[in-house]
Protein backbone atom coordinates (compact mmCIF):
# COMPACT_ATOMS: atom_id res chain seq x y z
CA UNK A 1 0.00 0.00 0.00
CA UNK A 2 1.13 3.53 -0.62
CA UNK A 3 -0.12 5.44 2.43
CA UNK A 4 1.31 8.31 4.41
CA UNK A 5 0.14 10.70 7.11
CA UNK A 6 1.77 14.12 7.28
CA UNK A 7 3.28 14.48 10.77
CA UNK A 8 1.96 17.11 13.19
CA UNK A 9 3.85 20.38 12.88
CA UNK A 10 4.80 19.75 9.23
CA UNK A 11 3.51 20.69 5.78
CA UNK A 12 4.05 18.26 2.88
CA UNK A 13 4.71 19.28 -0.73
CA UNK A 14 4.02 16.47 -3.21
CA UNK A 15 6.29 16.61 -6.26
CA UNK A 16 5.66 13.35 -8.12
CA UNK A 17 3.50 10.21 -8.23
CA UNK A 18 4.39 6.91 -9.90
CA UNK A 19 2.14 3.90 -10.58
CA UNK A 20 3.32 0.54 -11.94
CA UNK A 21 0.99 -2.22 -13.22
CA UNK A 22 2.09 -5.81 -13.92
CA UNK A 23 -0.50 -6.71 -16.60
CA UNK A 24 -1.71 -5.13 -19.82
CA UNK A 25 -5.18 -4.27 -18.56
CA UNK A 26 -7.24 -1.11 -18.12
CA UNK A 27 -6.69 0.48 -14.73
CA UNK A 28 -7.62 3.70 -13.03
CA UNK A 29 -5.07 5.22 -10.66
CA UNK A 30 -6.01 7.74 -7.99
CA UNK A 31 -4.14 10.07 -5.68
CA UNK A 32 -6.40 10.57 -2.65
CA UNK A 33 -6.06 12.89 0.36
CA UNK A 34 -8.02 13.26 3.57
CA UNK A 35 -7.37 16.40 5.63
CA UNK A 36 -7.51 15.93 9.40
CA UNK A 37 -11.19 15.63 10.39
CA UNK A 38 -12.31 15.64 6.74
CA UNK A 39 -13.16 13.13 4.03
CA UNK A 40 -11.05 11.55 1.29
CA UNK A 41 -11.10 13.43 -2.01
CA UNK A 42 -9.39 12.87 -5.35
CA UNK A 43 -6.28 15.00 -5.96
CA UNK A 44 -5.11 13.18 -9.12
CA UNK A 45 -6.79 10.77 -11.54
CA UNK A 46 -4.88 8.79 -14.16
CA UNK A 47 -5.72 5.91 -16.53
CA UNK A 48 -3.45 3.42 -18.25
CA UNK A 49 -3.43 0.10 -20.10
CA UNK A 50 -0.61 -1.61 -18.22
CA UNK A 51 1.96 1.11 -18.90
CA UNK A 52 3.67 2.71 -15.87
CA UNK A 53 2.55 6.25 -15.06
CA UNK A 54 4.86 8.93 -13.71
CA UNK A 55 3.49 12.42 -13.21
CA UNK A 56 5.62 15.36 -12.07
CA UNK A 57 3.70 18.28 -10.61
CA UNK A 58 5.21 21.55 -11.89
CA UNK A 59 3.65 23.26 -8.87
CA UNK A 60 3.70 20.88 -5.87
CA UNK A 61 0.44 19.89 -4.18
CA UNK A 62 0.33 21.15 -0.57
CA UNK A 63 -0.91 18.96 2.29
CA UNK A 64 -1.31 20.28 5.83
CA UNK A 65 -0.38 18.43 9.01
CA UNK A 66 -2.23 15.17 9.79
CA UNK A 67 -3.47 14.80 6.20
CA UNK A 68 -3.69 11.17 5.04
CA UNK A 69 -2.32 10.58 1.51
CA UNK A 70 -3.16 7.37 -0.35
CA UNK A 71 -2.55 5.90 -3.81
CA UNK A 72 -5.26 3.58 -5.18
CA UNK A 73 -5.38 1.39 -8.29
CA UNK A 74 -8.73 0.10 -9.56
CA UNK A 75 -8.96 -2.67 -12.14
CA UNK A 76 -11.62 -5.02 -13.49
CA UNK A 77 -9.01 -7.80 -13.67
CA UNK A 78 -6.62 -9.34 -11.20
CA UNK A 79 -3.23 -7.66 -11.40
CA UNK A 80 -0.45 -6.50 -9.14
CA UNK A 81 0.24 -2.80 -8.81
CA UNK A 82 2.64 -0.54 -6.98
CA UNK A 83 2.93 3.13 -6.34
CA UNK A 84 5.11 5.77 -4.81
CA UNK A 85 5.15 9.50 -4.28
CA UNK A 86 7.86 12.06 -3.56
CA UNK A 87 7.28 14.53 -0.74
CA UNK A 88 9.19 17.39 0.81
CA UNK A 89 8.37 18.01 4.48
CA UNK A 90 8.76 21.50 5.91
CA UNK A 91 8.42 22.50 9.59
CA UNK A 92 5.46 24.79 10.28
CA UNK A 93 6.30 28.13 11.86
CA UNK A 94 5.57 28.36 15.57
Domain boundaries, the chain: 2-91
Q: Is 1 helix (H, G, I), strand (E, B) or coil?
A: coil
Look at phi and psi of residue 79 and say left if phi exceeds 0, alpha if psi is from -120 to 50, else beta.
Answer: beta
**What is the CATH class of 2-91?**
mainly beta
Confidence of residue 43 (pLDDT cuts 50, 70, 90): very high
Mean pLDDT of the chain: 91
What's the confidence (pLDDT) of residue 79?
80
> Higher pLDDT residue, 13 or 1?
13
Q: In what order do the strands lie in the sheet with 81-91?
A: 53-63, 10-21, 81-91
In whole angstroms, give the CA distance from residue 26 to residue 47. Answer: 7
Q: Taking the model in full, what pTM does it have?
A: 0.88
Range 31-37 average pLDDT: 96
Amino acid sequence: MALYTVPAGKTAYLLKVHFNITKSTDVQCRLMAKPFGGAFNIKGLFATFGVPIEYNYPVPLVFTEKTDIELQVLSGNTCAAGGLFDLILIDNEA
